[in-house]
Amino acid sequence: MKRVIAVVLGAMSAFFVFYTVRLLLVTGFLMHTRAGGRGAYVGAVVFPLLALALGWGARRAWRSGNPPAA
């Protein structure tokens, strides 16, 4: 069951990595945001943090899903 959770968390992490790259490319690395577009700056901070946290959770869940043989 923990391996399934790890795969789901890994997929969510990959999504936020993709969305961070997309945000940076669409906004020209935050140089071309629309007026009042402060959400781009928030996303540029929050998306990578979410990707890291979810990736860390996926790694921990994957490792705990298969205990070492004695």
Kindly list the domain boundaries of the chain, sorted by start residue. 2-64
- Residue 69's pLDDT is 64
Between vectors from CA 66 to CA 61 and to CA 70, what angle results, nearest 5°?
140
HSE (side-chain half, CA atoms, 13 Å) at 68: 1
Between vectors from CA 48 to CA 43 and to CA 53, what angle results, nearest 5°?
125
- Residue 58's pLDDT is 97
Which residues lie below 8 Å from residue 62, measured CB to CB, with a gap of 6+? 2, 3, 6, 10
**CB count in 10 Å sphere of residue 44:** 16
What tens digit of pLDDT does each residue of 21-57 get?
A: 999 999 999 898 888 888 899 999 999 999 999 999 9
